[in-house]
Structure formats: structure tokens, C-alpha cells
Amino acid sequence: MDKIDHYAVYGNPVKHSKSPQIHAAFAEQTGQQLHYRAHKVELGRFAEVATQFFEHGGKGLNITVPFKLDAFEFADQLSGRARRAGAVNTLAIQEDGTIYGDNTDGVGLVRDIHDNLGWDMQDRRILVLGAGGAVRGILGPLLKQGPSHVLIANRTEEKAQKLAQQFEKLGKIAGGSYAGLASAQFDLIINGTSASMSGDLPPLPSHILSNDGCAYDMMYGAAPTPFMRWAAGETAWAVSDGLGMLVEQAAESFCIWRGVRPDTKPVIELIRQSLSA
């Protein structure tokens, strides 16, 4: 019998995670032998628990809130996109025993928007809401798509401006406040805040979406989020939640670990059905 490799997702909270279901589907589809579980890590214990995992033969970890910075500091080597994001969501042990850290959030977002939804980002005016860890991970891959410009809007304008400065070498990007959006218009708005989790909506003015504008919420759920409902009311051409991003970033992690890329579309459909079950 083949040895079964062990993987996990670390977070706090983590009970709600769909990652075990997603990676089980990937493994079945690709004929890979692995075991994947969700593990709640107590605050302040990430390095200790992650060290034990790898010392006991663990092969790879996904990292979710609030440990992506801890994982960044834990990794021995970092990918370019992880270094730019300043955060890690994927850890993998290498043949020499060192730990490799990557960030697959941005490529997951881009693949979902471009490949699955078919939305064009080149030469488009993009507004990103929020300046937290979720947004840090997507800016590099987003700017590589060649938008005309990206604006980060945040309640604390200074935080948005500082974040934009870290990515200005990759493209035209700026940071500002929600109040500064009154006369602006965008072709794509990406909600990177956690407002949808509490049923809230960022303070957005009317008519901020262009006539063929799209709206994307990085959060997901069984029902449309408040942001998605707002965008539909603003006559958005198309709206989507972030379930596809979740599956796509997981597929990138799976490929880093196993060297094979799964087909994501049937897994997106599977998880979507489980949300409404």
C-alpha cells in the first residue's frame, strides 16, 4: 500500500473551511494519495505547531486568517509573489528539509476572473476595496494583467497609500479614501474587505460602476453577498463571489505540492452545491 502524505489548513477559526473537501476532490480526480484536514491553531503557537507538523512528516500546509504573516516569517525560502505580498498562504517541505513559502491568492483571483468568468482586465479601471492582508496577496498578479490603473480605497487613506507604494513598480496604482470616490468610475470593483461576513457594505457612492462594469466579492456564501446585491442594483454587467478564487488558489497549492494541476470547474460546482445543500 502506498504511503499517504499529510496536508492541512491552519487557521483560527477554521471549522468553516472548505479546503478539506476541495483537496479531497482534487486528490480523487488526479489519483493522488493524500490526507488533508483542517486544524485550529491557538494564537501565538503557529511556529511551534507548524514545526511539529513538518517534523512528523507533514508535506504541506495551507494558511488562512490570522496566520499568513506568521507563515511568511516561518518559511526558509519565499516565492517572488509571496515576498511582494508580505504574506504566505502555502507552505511546502522541500527535499533538503527546508520550508518553501508561496502566496497563491492573487493567481487564484486572476484565474477565476479571467479564465472562469471571462472578464477582461487589460486596460480596465479597477477599484480594490480594503487594504488588509487579503488585498496584499492579489495586487501583484492583478497588476500583471495590464489594467489602465488600480485604485485601493480604504477607510484609513494612509494605509491604502502605503500599500499602493509597495506595488507601484508593477503598474499604475494609487491609494485613497472612500470619500474620494464620489466622482470616480470603474470597470471592475473587487471587494477585498470582510464587510460581507458581517452583512455590511463598504460606503460606496452610486454610479461608480461603468455601463459594462463588473463586481467581484472575494467572500462567498450560499446567497449573494451584500456587495453583490449592491452591484446588481447598480446595473453591473456581471457579479460574482469569491468561491472560484478559493478553488483556484487551492489548485495552485495542490500543483506546488503534487506537481499536477487539477481541473477546477467540477470542484467549483461541487462546492457551490454543498453551500446550498
Binding residues for shikimate: 17-19, 64, 89, 105, 220, 249
Residue 250 to residue 30: CA distance in whole angstroms: 14
Provide the annotated binding site for NADP(+).
130-134, 154-159, 218, 242
Question: Cα dist. 249→49, 106, 163 in Å?
Answer: 23, 8, 22
User: In sequence order, what are the residues at sequence separation of 6 or more whose Cβ sits closer than 8 angstroms to the Cβ of residue 197?
Assistant: 219
- Give counts: helices (H), strands (E), the chain: 10, 12
Tell me, yes or no, if 68 is annotated catalytic. Answer: yes
Strands 90-93 and 99-102: antiparallel
Distance CA 228, CA 144 (A): 25
Catalytic-role residue among 68, 144, 162, 169: 68
Q: In what order do the strands lie in the sheet with 90-93?
A: 34-40, 5-11, 60-63, 90-93, 99-102, 77-78
Residues of the binding site: 17-19, 64, 89, 105, 130-134, 154-159, 218, 220, 242, 249
Query: Phi and psi (nearest 5°) for 215?
Result: -135, 135
Region label for 102, one of left (φ > 0), alpha (ψ between -120 and 50) or beta (otherwise): beta
Please give the backbone phi and psi of residue 213, each rounded to the nearest 5 degrees, phi first.
-75, 155
Residues tagged active-site: 68
